[in-house]
Structure 1
């Protein structure tokens, strides 16, 4: 199942149910492609380095022993091994909608969105969680310092039984507490990351920065896949603030990490909400001041 969330500006956004993915990828719904207003593709699916990375998706390495991330399972003291513990996310229903909003100057943003219900099914075939998810994408009108898009993702997960969400980081692998709303950026672009306090993967991975910016400058390389367009994606968390998982060297990817260095424990029947918000622009935002000016233009408050 594919739902087209492309707006009037023509920049593509597709919601894929993911029901045809291989079991080893932990089948799940995802967004791909996510494009900038000028058309630069900002997601990647099934890359050679990590075939279980799927655009922008909600993936968790361990929920009560089932693997909802895809690929190999981290085993303390032994590394990554193939275990037949993969779960899957099944889309129960989807409710698309058209919508609009206003920026900080009162200009109208227009776009599309959807709400959906997703069942998380463990490796044993039993339902682990029910998730209510909403996704919206709004695009600014022409003019100002440049056209911008705002993508918002909100999830509320409710466990059927007491749930323990874990990660390699919570099991002792330093700096690898990944698991959450994970954005896999395309490797063909050269990415840099910075926040209000720091720059670079080593400084930001594991930090609790208010926002982080993934920036790709125009390429000067003479490659067939090189682009001449700059793009910046500014990300901030919605709901409880947790550490950021960030990669730019091995591969480009980002997520707010729900179980960074210790498991997240959720009581049965109690909803837990979290989310991610992204400002997407074809501007080359090179400094904290320029990022915060752009955030103010779309009405983001500190």
Structure 2
């Protein structure tokens, strides 16, 4: 470990050497690990006549022949500086916890600094080094090499040109694998702190820090002042202190949302990337290879760019210790402020939660073994699409987020009430129920599934309320030639006032607010629930939609806008992945036969063995009292006077709704609310038609 200590006698009788003043004099602190890459780069630049490497410092001296020329060798930076003269630039490729003291020493001596990432181990250290650099009038470059990519100006130009439309958000994904030996390479590896000193090693702060830093740069977040908030969701499969599988969500002052989903527990190493998601296309940057992929309706464009070496950039920005006007550092310390906001949020967060061993497999032997989190690739994709944390997605090994409320029957939690406040804006945030369980604990709802991340359990949603999308996702319009397009038209549904709760009943008032926050509709919604027997229970939803103002409001759907058979909207129930799914009515069976039908009831049965639509039992396993497996039957019972058709999907995704506006809009008039009611019987096991009819008739509840 390189340490900042009191001056001591140099390990070598050589001094830092006299070299021509026309060439910058460089010292490297830390010659092993990534320091070896710096040695190779310094040799290249010295051969090109761009600099002189005058000294190195490392308690473990470099191997014979590793240094070209007459570079002096020291044990510590203090020894190097004491030997004099002070180098023009000091490069720090040392353990994280040494960056701040070594940088302060180099700056105090009058040198410019190139420090590897992360620049320091806390926000307090960042402010201290930043102040020292400003006071000394010195430059500090941070070793985020990807920020030297010539692709970044092209990305900014593409965004500003409008080629990908309006930016919906950004995501960074990294799926690497690291073996046990990776965490044994040094005392500080995998540590949040060491001997009481902050280290803050981890997937987002070190191993895949470039993904975070590059994404922040692409989001226009550079300084501390550019960051509005940072949320962390940290986990580990390795026996370490630090996180190895995490989601970081950053919201910028400019209004962008960046979701970083990163792991060191992937089944195989993949190229990390940052994507800008737009309404008309996407920009994906594979930053390790400087490859840019721009996808729009016109097709795909791929291009590989060059990269400016950050040391060369630092040398160009200084002349005899004075910054050169017109040349800026590509990775200046002040511009690492946004990254430091992320590091500080991780540093101050609770210790990462250990991923239960049942969700992890180990591959390889001994020090070459590495953990693989089951289904991690699908989870990372789902998190980035939904801009959600693992906890918000309900991943079984993630920390539990308490619901706003719970529907309970004789001690059995049968449904959790979510207020939707954590849902991304373009998914039309709204209250919903999830998970909904059978009495035996089988979960029969899904939320934010990979195929449609705006599908939210059980609730009410409409895609066209006077032109405002309260469903989420793209909007189907005639104006777009009968296509789904992204529009800035997403509303949100929020509670107003305190709900009225009694045993087996919840009544709430809701406001349907447009993108500008102004109410368009008001809703009174009532949930009632009761046991039907030892293996079944009943959930009833009643809702009434009224104009918020004094004029009529049109309630529509893709079907009412011209999409044949696409009349979804109103009550909707998103089911989880289901094996052996069967859907039927009193007279017909199968998706094509029952979709669009008007019948007293519609049933769905099958084995709910995978929990969610992410493609794996571990991904879909249910926590908090639920079970991953179980056969169940859901019976959707229409109100006695209902003429609304059933909306049914089986093959594409599992979902059932009752269409409020199948092929024509419904008008909500002032003083005349649009009222709907539906009852769902949730039963363990597979029921037949006779069982269903008996169940319905016994209850006598078609309202």
Q: Work out whether the TM-score is over 0.5.
A: yes
The answer for the alignment partner of 1:136 in structure 2 is: 528
1:148 equivalenced with 2:540 (yes/no): no
Question: Which SS does the other structure have where 2:690 is aligned?
Answer: helix
Contact 1:11 1:36 in 2 (8 A): no
More strand by share: 1
CA distance in 2, matches of 1:215, 1:94: 36
Structure 1 residue runs without a partner (length 5+): 100-111
CA distance in 2, matches of 1:53, 1:94: 26
The answer for the alignment partner of 2:519 in structure 1 is: 127
CA distance in 1, matches of 2:443, 2:580: 13
Name the CA shift for 1:218/1:181 in 2 (closer, same or farther; >3 Å): closer
Select the residue among 259, 267, 279 that pairs with 2:669.
Answer: 267
Contact 2:559 2:566 in 1 (8 A): yes
1:177 equivalenced with 2:567 (yes/no): yes
Contact 2:552 2:667 in 1 (8 A): yes
Contact 1:169 1:178 in 2 (8 A): yes
Contact 1:94 1:114 in 2 (8 A): no
The answer for the alignment partner of 2:588 in structure 1 is: 198
TM-score where L is the length of structure 1: 0.87
TM-score where L is the length of structure 2: 0.39
Contact 2:406 2:417 in 1 (8 A): yes
The answer for the alignment partner of 2:268 in structure 1 is: none
> RCO higher in 1 or 2 (8 Å CA, sep ≥ 6)?
1
The answer for the alignment partner of 1:81 in structure 2 is: 485
User: Cα deviations across residues 73-121 of structure 1 (Å, max 9, x unaligned)?
Assistant: 112324111101001111113435343xxxxxxxxxxxx2211000011
1:117 equivalenced with 2:509 (yes/no): yes
Deviation at 1:201, TM superposition (A): 0.7
The answer to which of 204-213 and 116-125 deviates more is 116-125
The answer to which of 230-239 and 161-170 deviates more is 230-239
Contact 2:499 2:509 in 1 (8 A): no
Name the CA shift for 1:189/1:39 in 2 (closer, same or farther; >3 Å): farther
Deviation at 1:223, TM superposition (A): 5.7
User: Cα deviations across residues 160-192 of structure 1 (Å, max 9, x unaligned)?
Assistant: 221111111112111110001100000254421
The answer for the alignment partner of 2:412 in structure 1 is: 10
Deviation at 1:275, TM superposition (A): 1.4
* Runs of 4+ more than 6 Å apart: none
The answer for the alignment partner of 1:242 in structure 2 is: 644
The answer for the alignment partner of 2:442 in structure 1 is: 40
Aligned pairs, how many?
284
CA distance in 2, matches of 1:193, 1:82: 32
Deviation at 1:240, TM superposition (A): 3.3
The answer for the alignment partner of 1:298 in structure 2 is: 699
Name the CA shift for 1:81/1:196 in 2 (closer, same or farther; >3 Å): same
Name the CA shift for 1:125/1:229 in 2 (closer, same or farther; >3 Å): closer
The answer for the alignment partner of 1:92 in structure 2 is: 496
1:70 equivalenced with 2:472 (yes/no): yes
CA distance in 2, matches of 1:98, 1:38: 24
Question: Which SS does the other structure have where 1:289 is aligned?
Answer: helix
The answer for the alignment partner of 2:285 in structure 1 is: none
CA distance in 1, matches of 2:476, 2:509: 29
The answer for the alignment partner of 2:331 in structure 1 is: none
Deviation at 1:40, TM superposition (A): 0.5
Question: Which SS does the other structure have where 2:440 is aligned?
Answer: coil
1:157 equivalenced with 2:549 (yes/no): no
Q: Equivalent residues in 2 for 1:215-230 (5 A)? A: 215-217=605-607, 229-230=630-631
Contact 2:555 2:667 in 1 (8 A): yes
Deviation at 1:130, TM superposition (A): 0.8
1:56 equivalenced with 2:458 (yes/no): yes
The answer to which of 176-185 and 224-233 deviates more is 224-233
1:31 equivalenced with 2:433 (yes/no): yes
CA distance in 2, matches of 1:66, 1:151: 29
User: Cα deviations across residues 179-233 of structure 1 (Å, max 9, x unaligned)?
Assistant: 01100000254421100010011011111011000111476xx966696532101
Deviation at 1:20, TM superposition (A): 2.1
CA distance in 1, matches of 2:593, 2:454: 26
The answer for the alignment partner of 2:392 in structure 1 is: none
Contact 1:135 1:152 in 2 (8 A): yes
Contact 2:443 2:608 in 1 (8 A): no
